[in-house]
Structure 1
């Protein structure tokens, strides 16, 4: 399509929308793809839930993912969420299955600075999907012999954003080796772990802009189409108006708190 720079910018501005409640990329289903991870996190969760009696789901978002395990959840299941609009959505979605939602999130820059709002030895299983956590606090709230299961986004994922826009928040310590070592130092035994490097493929710059509205923590500060117009136009020219690729990084692990 032969458009002027201003016409391209106008089309990209239409992608700027408020971040929705919950945690869903359904609006981008036909506009982006990502490499499937080689493990089945649904099966990992369901297997872990099979004999659990007291469960915490950390960073539940709007509760959508936890709801897929509704028939496997024990009566004593609690969730946490740190983003206020999602707290409301999660409470609304999870109340039907009797799951309380507590507002809490460990700060990325200092995970030990905010204690988890639970007593010692409270849970025998903690699930965590893409949420920051304190190994020390986990060791406190998980009962001896209890388990921790997490899937994480690598802290240097999507590093290309920094190359394109001159800024990208990264957490280089968020990788499998470092996280496993920290858990072991806190008293856990890591019993299974795996990591993966893949890619995200966006149809075009417009799809990338839409994606960055959903994950503002991946976007440069103050990201808008107008603020980064020249960078977006340069990327559009570099890709010939076609697909845009980002590096995807994932890892997961299962750990048991030593008695």
Structure 2
């Protein structure tokens, strides 16, 4: 029923994924993304020289933080996904960055007003707790994945969107942050295209981010996956729209 190429590609579901490293499919050009009009890394780099203390929330495996330098002497990181904690510690602690494993966003293991810069890329957060640990005048920079991210994948698989995140967007996030005593310095929201060049790349992606399709199992979606495979064979790619938004805010 299914061709050999399809059967070979679905084996990518068995490939290991660790930290926050998509190089298996990005470095080989099997997936590509349209560029945003902003660079999270450049924005963060602009603020780092002004900071005496820095917190990176949701550092993943520490991939990005380890490349930002020179960092403040007082730099810390948190990570809530247990498999990433060991990876982050091995990468960051030799650099003098202590990594804290956390379970709840509203209970950070830091003193009130401890930081003057908090960065957060694609990590959940409690606006109230961020404000608590951020000093007055301190800066909070976050890039978030919106609730409509890659919704076309769900449509094609006939899988519902994750109800926990579906209403997560720039307007909602701004309302929350403003209520906790922040001045908004910058805000943006965009829907760049993400392109998959083979089905194996898509399957690897879904395994890496299980919240996109929380009940994703190969056998359950095999027919829908084959239809996507046929689309890629016909058109050369399968496109979906990402959902990203950026907020830079100052504690007042």
TM-score, length-scaled by structure 1: 0.89
Unmatched tracts of structure 1, length 5 or more:
none
Where does residue 143 of structure 2 map in the other structure?
A: 151
SS at match of 1:217: coil
Closer, same or farther: CA 105–197 of 1 in aligned 2, 3 Å: farther
SS at match of 1:16: helix
1:62-73, aligned counterparts within 5 Å?
Answer: 62-69=61-68, 71-73=69-71
d(CA) in 1 for partners of 2:30, 2:229: 16
Aligned CA-pair RMSD: 1.7
The number of residue pairs the alignment matches comes to 247
Residue number among 89, 92, 96 corresponding to 1:91 in the alignment: 89
1:1-259, aligned counterparts within 5 Å?
Answer: 4-5=1-2, 7-17=4-14, 19-29=16-26, 30-69=29-68, 71-106=69-104, 114-167=106-159, 168-170=161-163, 171-221=165-215, 223-241=216-234, 242-258=236-252
d(CA) in 2 for partners of 1:80, 1:147: 17
Shift of residue 139, structure 1, vs aligned partner: 1.2
Unmatched tracts of structure 2, length 5 or more:
none
Q: Is the 8 A contact 1:208 1:244 kept in 2?
A: no
Closer, same or farther: CA 21–237 of 1 in aligned 2, 3 Å: closer
TM-score, length-scaled by structure 2: 0.91
d(CA) in 2 for partners of 1:229, 1:255: 44
